[in-house]
Amino acid sequence: MATVLIVGEHDGSKLNPSTARCVTCAAQISGAEVHVALFGADLAAVAPQAAALKGVTKVLSVANPANAHPLAAVLAPQVVALAGPYTHVLGPSTTFGKDLMPRVAALLGVPQVSDAMSVDGPYKFKRPTYAGNAIVTVEAPESRKLVATVRTASFEAAPQGGQAAVEAVAVSVPLPTHTRFVSVSAANSDRPDLQTAAKVVSGGRALGSKENFQLIYSLADRMGAAVGASRAAVDAGYASNELQVGQTGKIIAPELYVAIGISGAIQHLTGIKDARTIVAINKDAEAPIFEIADYGLVGDLFQILPELEKSLA
């Protein structure tokens, strides 16, 4: 029988929604028993959130001052120490999981399946390669522990309704001191989170400046949407890095994605292919974004955006 350990992601107060999506992936591994491991300095706030996810039967809470910040080099040996009884160890394909899980896999001496997007069997998964242009079905050896990151956009979040036991666990393995947290500059925002928002408004190079990019924020606020950006817009300094959507940025699956002044490079399209409805607004009728858009509107964004905002008022 499959037993799955999910490495939960959180910021100390809130469980990251990527964890609930990993639970859904794990639940698709037939007959799996699903546990969530949490690492932090103080897990009193987040452990109950993990325990409340439907499908989770146990939460392992590893509280340790050394775990105050998620440093892969510090967390990996602890994950390995817990991994023993499990057949599968999963983490989200967020920067947290992408950083940590390969280190875990290497310490376990097993390969990793990156970005699992569907479960075809307990050891069989689909994953995207070549910026999503080639989907590979991979089969991992059943004789070894399977480590995978989960492409969170491909799975719905597990619902509430679980009542898992929370077990405080002391992990006594030597932890390295060669890696130290210094600081994090997070854009504090009341806007919806890009990775989990139902609606996303994204701006591209055609915005032309950081000042003009405010038009995107303004429309997003009007719609209750999160803000995203193309790589070109981030490279040009119009928007900050955590807003980047695409192959090397965030992969998202909102109900509605509005691409404004984004031509639609293949690397960008990779990040939005799972969106339910895509709207493209672009001056260039030949822009590749129109090939995947459900609704396209050709025109000058500087005329269209104010008009659009007004009609939503």
Partner 1 sequence: MRRIMVCVKRVVDYNVRIRVKPDGTGVVLDGVKMSVNPFDEIALEEALRIKERGEADEVVAVSIGPDDAQQQLRTALAMGADRAILVKTTDVVEPLAAAQVFLTLVQKEQPQLVILGKQAIDDDAAQTGQMLAALWDRPQATFASKVELAGAAALVTREVDAGLETIEVDLPAVVTTDLRLNEPRYVKLPDIMKAKKKPLDVVELASTGVSAGETLKSVLVEPPKPRSKGVMVKDVAGLVDALKKKGLL
Please say which residue, 170 or 312, places its beta carbon nearer to partner 1. Answer: 312
Q: Does position 298 bind partner 1 by CB under 8 A?
A: yes
Q: Does position 227 bind partner 1 by CB under 8 A?
A: no
* Minimum separation from the CB atom of position 232 to partner 1 (A): 11
Amino acid at 119: V
Tokens of 300: 């000058």
Distance CA 70, CA 11 (A): 9
Q: Does position 300 bind partner 1 by CB under 8 A?
A: no
* Minimum separation from the CB atom of position 165 to partner 1 (A): 29
Cα dist. 46→33, 43, 88 in Å? 21, 5, 23
List the interface residues with partner 1, window 244-283 (CB under 8 A). 247-248, 250, 255-256, 266, 273, 277-279
Residue 166's CB is within 10 A of a number of other CB atoms, namely: 17
Total residues in contact with partner 1, by rule CB under 8 A: 84
- Per CB under 8 A, the list member of 96, 155, 213, 238 interacting with partner 1 is 96
- Per CB under 8 A, the list member of 40, 55, 102, 203 interacting with partner 1 is 102
Backbone angles phi, psi at 6, to 5 degrees: -105, 130
Please say which residue, 51 or 229, places its beta carbon nearer to partner 1. Answer: 229
List the interface residues with partner 1, window 26-65 (CB under 8 A). none
Please say which residue, 17 or 57, places its beta carbon nearer to partner 1. Answer: 17
Q: Does position 13 bind partner 1 by CB under 8 A?
A: no
Tokens of 281: 């607004």
Amino acid at 283: K
* Minimum separation from the CB atom of position 168 to partner 1 (A): 27
Q: Does position 141 bind partner 1 by CB under 8 A?
A: yes
Amino acid at 136: V
Q: Strand, helix or coil at 96?
A: helix
List the interface residues with partner 1, window 167-186 (CB under 8 A). 176, 178-186
Distance CA 37, CA 166 (A): 10
Distance CA 91, CA 308 (A): 40
Number of Cα atoms under 13 Å in the Cβ half of residue 234: 17
Please say which residue, 169 or 297, places its beta carbon nearer to partner 1. Answer: 297
Please say which residue, 33 or 217, places its beta carbon nearer to partner 1. Answer: 217
* 51: exposed, middle or buried (Cβ count in 10 Å: 0-12, 13-18, 19+): buried
Please say which residue, 42 or 242, places its beta carbon nearer to partner 1. Answer: 242
